[in-house]
Structure 1
Amino acid sequence: MNLESRSFNAPVNVQRLIGIAIALLCAIGVAGAQDFAITKDEIKAGKKEYSPYLHQAYPNRVFWGDTHLHTSFSTDAGMVGDTLGPEEALRFARGEQAISSSGVPARLIRPLDFLVIADHAENLGLAPMIEESNPELLRDPMGKKYHDLVKSGEGWEAYQLWKKSGAEREDSMPNPSLQRSAWERIIDAVDNYNEPGVFTAFHGFEWTSTPDLRNLHRNVIFRDGAEEARQVLPLSIFDSVDPEDLWDFMEAYEKKTGGRALAIPHGGNLSQGLMFAVETMSGQPLDAAYAKRRMRWEPLYEVTQIKGDGEVHPRLSLNDEFADYYQWDKGDFGLNPKKPEMLPHEYARSALGIGLEQEQKLGANPFKFGMIGATDSHTSLATTREENYFGKFAGAEPGSKHRFDDLVSQDLRENGDGSLNVYHWESLASGLAGVWARENTREALWDAMARKEVYATTGTRMIVRVFAGWDFKPDEVHRPDFASQGYQRGVPMGGDLSAAPDGAKPRFMVRALRDPDGANLDRIQIIKGWVDAAGKSHERIFDVAVSDGRKIDENGRSKTPVGDTVDVANASFTNTIGDALLGGYWEDFTFDPKQRAFYYVRVLEIPTPSWIAYDEKMFGTQAPKEALRKQQERVYTSPIWYSPVD
């Protein structure tokens, strides 16, 4: 491996940096998240001043949050036992103790910095309206029927009846005033708990497209406040199942309000190849206009959550020993079994490669997304730590009778043999979004998401940073001004490199710091994907830093495992292996300046107990023998892309 470094003395565009600084400082002033604002006149370019941080404008903090949490206002949560509404969810995310729907006290180890209440748009707020015997609900024939069934003790029957209407995409209660009432209540709660600089509560919802029970769900997140959010009603499956119609909705929202919106797809592993298909829903081949439009509205992908991890599949990446991680690959939501040809269009790594193939063909990349994690919890509790996992649904909270055997997805085929069943013991206590920004406000965090300076974690709060450039040197990863140099001379996660200088290769600086309340680190890896002259994508994994003095061979891999301190019976581990901090410099010795490429960082912790092991130790219960009792938590950064000059 070529680790030598040559300096190309790439000039720093000082004028551009000053412009960025002014723009960011003005934005901070508008946001009102600090006690005083810096005006344009106070920036004295070229003047010698004592404090080196006066004009620092780059993102300097990681903020942790969940962009996908359901409360009792989602019918598939509230109708099956979740009794906690948006206010309780927001208070819990801010660090307060809560009593779960099953009566179990709960609290986070540390508060989150932000939260999106992403309740399903379909018949929003039905469960609390039934509980309150809402007069408007009772005036609706089907609303009264649902209400009466629940009040007579037949809540499950009411839920199944409601599900049937959803599966048929027919709104059984086409009453906008009901949806408006629930939407206004969520907006009020979100605005009440939004505290710029302390805790950010975003307005948002989930659009639940499930054509033929194939998952195409998106979470919509608004950058704006209550005034803008009140001007629309959330789009639902009853309106459309086509993502392009969702983009129309967001475009209309922006034109009407002057606000901003983005959508985050999730659950591609349940989409039966539709999530990253190379045809539109109407069956037309993708074109450049589609590609640009999709990336305008969907800059991110939720790569890990409760319903399985979506980074990679072992059948697609045969040389990746870490690929087999919480795979949900039986089918969709119970109607259609998985076919091998669907897999490349469901997982993030292969989709990024398909995006390069499409870009080479179309001139635009439809799958140039950043990556985040989120929970998709339907308990109102955004919990992601293994020893504090409150489950997917209220009926599977800690200590519940059906904690392990609850069916998250059921085989619904007429003559089904149960092979499409997915049980709660197969769920993952994931995930979180790490966002690099300067302040904890809607504007700053949303803007970071839009520019893809974000990363996904399976629940750990590991701090990870990566920069790519042309003239970094090996020892610069240890500089105290590592980040400043990275921004001045390179690009961060979510960024783009192009037009390689003659003879240059992309050089990467990566740092990873363990979760202060978590496990040591095993290794830092860079995953590279590229497309050859024939338009076919390839991938390769490189270890760029490994703990405990292990060696990386000439092919860029360390095949020596980090070790294992997990005591499954006692649900414990020790940090006597691994490192608390890893830093890596890597130069792409395989680089071809004519080939489009992407690079993202994956960081793995040492093995730790899973929530199954913690549950078995705490409650003396027994999960199926196939259940994972130990795992390696991980982080996936948004990629950095390289494009040649055409």
Structure 2
Amino acid sequence: MRKILLLASGATALALSGCGGLTGSDDAEVEVTNTEYPEQVYWGDTHLHTDNSVDAYGFGNRLNAEQALRFARGEEVTATKGEKAKLSRPLDFLVIADHSDAMGATKAIAEAPRIALLGNEFLLRWHDMLNESEEGALQVTAELIDGAAKGTLPEELTDPEEQAERTTELWNAHGETVDEYNEPGKFTAFMGYEYTPMPQGDNLHRVVMFRDGADKATTVLPYSSQGFAGNPENLWEHMAAYEKDTGGQMLAIPHNSNVSNGRMFEMQKYDGSPIDAAYAKTRALREPVVEVTQIKGDSEAHPFLSPNDEFAGFGDAGWDQCNLSCTRKMAPESYAGSYTREALKRGLELVHRIGANPFKFGVIGSTDSHTSLATADEDNFFGKHSANEANARDRALQPQNLGTREGRFGWHYLSSGYAAAWATSNTREAIFDAFMRREVYATTGPRMTVRFFGGFGFTADDMADLVKAGYEKGVPMGGDLTGGDGTAPSFLISALMDPESASLDRVQVVKGWIDADGNSQEKIYNVSWSDADNRKADADGKIGAVPNTVDLTKGTWDNATGAPELATWWQDPDFEADQHAFYYVRVLEIPTPTWPVYDALKFNLTLPDEVIKIQQERAYTSPIWYTPKA
């Protein structure tokens, strides 16, 4: 592999810098809350599990919140199975998102004195299985997950009063740890948890993230999804009540829509009633971002929905066949409610029908790691859970069989992803506010630096001072453009490779819009690409594949085939002033090895043919929306 270390210059330097003041534009209505330009992109993971999650402990995780925070800050820790673990670069922020339901329960059952459980045959059985063998602990975890999906968990784990009593002490102690590791300007530790409704095994999970410290966050307990609370509207009401009572702030982040069986972005409410404007506005407020990529697959687009997109279907292997618990098969007809691009299009359709958009969200990536180790690096992947950490020789060859989900717990996992936030400082307030205004983007792991601005008055000359022009004459990713004089919007785009990863293949703009009949459409535009093999766009805008230089015998590639940076001015050639639309950027790296390749080299393994060995990692920006003048 050729490593390229770059000095910022030209458009790249502008992509990394910021300027003071915000004047706005006569042509664009700008919805922003910050009073200065974000100068730096901050990297984090908003979805990490520790030994306080019922499944993570059952999977074998024995690392606590403190060890998770130390690892994210760049310190070396010892993983559960004994291997030394360290990031090559620290993260800037972390949300520990342990499951709210039965938080700490498996840990408490396993570590309780056996004599104390003699009167409860059910819990005694689980206690013995958790302590006697890894296989027994995995079986307990399978029973927990399947029981949650079917609503058959024992009362000891679901009774609200007992759960609250068990959780209170743990949550307060967690708050003390998070506050201790929060260092404004250096590292941001957020309070958070995961809310996990799973009706009939369909994933409707959300990560809940606080803007506040423990003094406010611990005045409420993590909200349970048991019973009728599985309706996300109940979560939103809980969030509103918290904000009213404390003056604090919360947001929710849906994830793994790809295994929701079409329910995450369905065109009706949880109870089957029609979506109305009030619901749409509440959902857009409470859920400003969606986790589009993580270990359990990528949810951007699917070939069934986007047959003309040659790069749709990244990370689908094994994950598009059945719902989260694999208790229900997923038919292709359900995919429209499972993938974010289609959700963005559905949002425009609802604007056309009811005048409001429930699916007006930005995108991030995060890991959903259950090892306490927030790593999305292919050559530093510790697995989804501690039963298949980095020193488990056969994890890519013989997937763990948990319950009915055989075949999705090995090489099908992605080493993905991270959240990138354009914020004014590395603090809870600034990063949270970036999430709220959707000035965030997702990557599958590499830390590419991406800027994306939209406006009505940009020219190619604005690329010389991209950031200043972007904020003064338009809006950043996550923003809104309204009206204009009928001229097509134009965009300033800059992408800089991660110096520790691969160079760039291409930059694409993904457009969705509502046609004259009220139906949603999409189109992919190649707007900038590396000049490998003197590639040119054909009459349809298509360009050839970048050369594949991956050497599977060494786990290397040649960065000379890609570009260290790609930057361009682009104007929509198919613009219709009366059509609602959104635009987002997708950045693709050149081909690189997947984590099973590194496992094979490390342990001298022969990978089966079906294992995906080469991929093109990527970044997705939050959209910019265009609304016609009324």
3-state secondary structure, aligned to 2:567: strand
Give the TM-score taking structure 1 as reference length.
0.87
Q: Which residue of 2 aligns with 1:331?
A: 322
C-alpha distance in structure 1 between counterparts of 2:355 and 2:427, whole Å: 35
Q: Which residue of 1 aligns with 2:17?
A: none
CA distance in 2 between counterparts of 1:556 and 1:109 reads 41
- Could you give the per-residue CA deviations for residues 85-119 of structure 1, whole angstroms, max 9, x where no partner exists? 11100000000011111111111010000000000
Counterpart-to-counterpart distance in 2, 1:15 and 1:319: 37
3-state DSSP of counterpart to 1:424 = coil
Q: Does the residue aligned with 1:251 lie in a helix, a strand or coil?
A: helix
Higher mean displacement: 236-245 or 587-596: 236-245
Tell me the CA shift for residue 437 of structure 1: 0.6
Asked whether the 8 Å contact 1:334–1:409 carries over to 2, the reply is no
Distance 1:192 1:15 in 2: 46
Determine helix, strand or coil for the equivalent of 1:275: coil
Report deviation, 1:12.
4.8
1:232 aligns with 2:220: yes
1:65 corresponds to which of 35, 40, 44? 44
Counterpart of 2:418, as a letter, is L
Select 1:593's aligned residue among 553, 562, 577: 577
RMSD value, Cα: 2.5
**Partner residue of 2:615?**
631
Distance 1:213 1:545 in 2: 42
Give runs of aligned pairs for residues 133-152 of structure 1, distance below 5 A: 133=112, 141=120, 146-151=126-131
Shift of 1:156: 4.2
Matched-pair contact (CA < 8 Å) for 1:464–1:511: yes
Hey, what's the Cα distance between the residues in 2 that align with 1:394 and 1:16?
Answer: 53
Which residue of structure 2 aligns with residue 274 of structure 1? Answer: 263
Q: Secondary structure at the match of 2:547?
A: coil
- What corresponds to 1:527 in structure 2? 510
The answer as to whether partners of 1:334 and 1:421 remain within 8 angstroms in 2 is no
Partner of 1:423: 409
Shift of 1:165: 4.1
Partner of 2:299: 310
Q: 2:351 aligns to what?
A: 359
Secondary structure at the aligned position of 1:512 is classed as strand
| Pair 1:621–1:127, CA change in 2 (3 A) | same
2: CA distance, partners of 1:15 / 1:275: 37
Contact 1:370–1:454 (Cα < 8 Å) also in 2: yes
1:560 counterpart residue number: 544
State the Cα distance separating 1:340 from its structure 2 match.
1.4
Give 1:557 shift.
2.2
Q: Which has the higher contact order (CA 8 A, sep 6+)?
A: 2
- The answer to whether structure 1 residue 208 and structure 2 residue 196 are counterparts is yes
Change (3 A) 1:441 1:243: same
1:252 aligns with 2:241: yes
**Residues 435, 453 of structure 1: 8 Å contact kept:** yes
How far apart, in 2, do the equivalents of 1:409 and 1:354 lie?
36
- Residues 63 and 434, structure 1, Cα contact 8 Å, conserved in 2: yes
User: Which AA in structure 1 matches 2:573?
Assistant: F
The match for 1:89 is 68
* CA–CA separation in structure 2 for the residues paired with 1:213 and 1:13: 47
> Which residue does the alignment assign to 2:383?
391
What is aligned with 2:100? 121
Inter-CA distance 181–544: structure 2 relative to 1 (3 Å threshold) = same
Cα distance change of structure 1 residues 358 and 84 upon mapping to structure 2, 3 Å threshold: same
Question: 2:172 is matched by which residue type in structure 1?
Answer: E
Partner residue of 1:620? 604
Q: Are 2:500 and 1:517 aligned?
A: yes
Instruction: Output the CA distance in 1 between the equivalents of 2:220 and 2:437.
Output: 25
The alpha-carbon deviation at position 399 of structure 1 amounts to: 2.7
- 1:429-448 to 2 correspondences below 5 Å: 429-448=415-434
CA 272–551 in structure 1, closer or farther in 2 if over 3 Å, else same? same
Q: Is the 8 A contact 1:62 1:435 kept in 2?
A: yes
- CA–CA distance in 2 between the matches of 1:621 and 1:61? 41
1:518 partner SS: coil
Contact 2:210–2:250, Cα closer than 8 Å, also in 1: yes
Q: Percent identity?
A: 46
Q: Deviations over 1:461-497 (max 9, x none)?
A: 00000111111111322x1x31011100000000000
The structural deviation recorded for 1:16 is 14
Equivalence map 1:394-473=2 (5 Å):
394-405=386-397, 407=399, 412=404, 421-473=407-459
Question: CA offset at residue 411 of structure 1?
Answer: 6.7
Structure 2 partner of 1:217: 205
User: What amino acid maps onto 2:284 in structure 1?
Assistant: M
Mapped partners of 1:467, 1:408: distance in 2: 44
Displacement after TM superposition at 1:315 (Å): 1.3
Q: Which amino acid aligns with 1:496?
A: D
Q: Is 2:24–2:474's contact at 8 Å kept on the other side of the alignment?
A: no
Q: Specify the code of the residue in structure 1 equivalent to 2:211.
A: R
Read off the aligned partner of 2:198 and give its amino acid letter.
Answer: T
Equivalent in the alignment of 2:8: none
Three-state SS of the structure 1 residue aligned to 2:171 is: helix
Q: CA deviation at 1:401?
A: 4.2
Per-residue deviation, 1:71: 0.6
**C-alpha displacement at 1:147, in angstroms?**
3.4
Deviation at 1:127? 3.6
Q: For this pair of structures, how many residues does the alignment match?
A: 594
CA distance in 2, matches of 1:184, 1:406: 40
1:33 aligns with: none
Conserved? CA contact 1:602–1:635, under 8 Å: yes
Q: For 1:174-194, what per-residue CA distance to the aligned partner results, in whole angstroms no more than 9, with x for missing partners?
A: 312111122122212111111
1:48 corresponds to which residue? none
Aligned residue for 1:322? 311
- Supply the distance in 1 between the matched residues of 2:124 and 2:180 (Cα, whole angstroms): 31
Aligned to 2:335: 343
TM-score between the two structures when normalised by the length of structure 2: 0.90
Contact 1:137/1:143, CA 8 A, preserved across alignment: no
CA 1:618/1:238 → structure 2, altered by over 3 Å: closer, same or farther?
A: same
Would you say the 8 A contact 2:591–2:614 is kept in 1? Answer: yes
Give a deviation string over 1:400-422, Cα, whole Å, max 9, x none: 1441256577573xxxxx8x742
Q: For structure 1, list consecutive stretches of 5 or more residues without a partner in the other structure.
A: 1-10, 26-56, 413-417
Q: Output the CA distance in 1 between the equivalents of 2:183 and 2:115.
A: 33
8 A Cα contact 1:59 1:438, kept in partner: yes
Q: Which amino acid aligns with 2:578?
A: K
1:152-167 aligned within 5 A: 154-163=136-145, 165-167=147-149
Shift of 1:548: 1.6
After superposition, the C-alpha distances for 1:239-277 in whole angstroms (9 at most, x for unaligned) are 521111111111111112110000000111111110110
Contact 1:75-1:125 at 8 Å conserved across structures: yes
Aligned partners of 1:136 and 1:178 also within 8 Å: no
Q: How far 1:162 moved relative to its partner?
A: 3.7
Q: Is the 8 A contact 1:295 1:368 kept in 2?
A: yes
Tell me how far 1:540 sits from its aligned partner: 0.5
Q: Which deviations, in whole Å up to 9, do the C-alpha atoms of 1:577-631 show, x marking residues without a partner?
A: 1110110111111000000000000000111111111111111123331111111
Return the alpha-carbon distance in structure 2 between the equivalents of residues 587 and 609 of structure 1. 34
CA distance in 1 between counterparts of 2:313 and 2:92 reads 31
Distance 2:89 2:57 in 1: 26
Stretch deviating more after TM superposition (190-199 or 393-402): 393-402
Deviation at 1:537, TM superposition (A): 0.5
Task: Provide the C-alpha distance between the structure 2 equivalents of 1:406 and 1:78, rounded to a whole number of angstroms.
Answer: 21
Q: 1:539 to 1:179 in 2, by over 3 A?
A: same
Return the offset for 1:425: 0.7
| Matches for 1:6-45 after TM superposition, within 5 Å | 12-13=23-24
**CA separation of 1:159 and 1:318: change in aligned 2, threshold 3 A:** closer
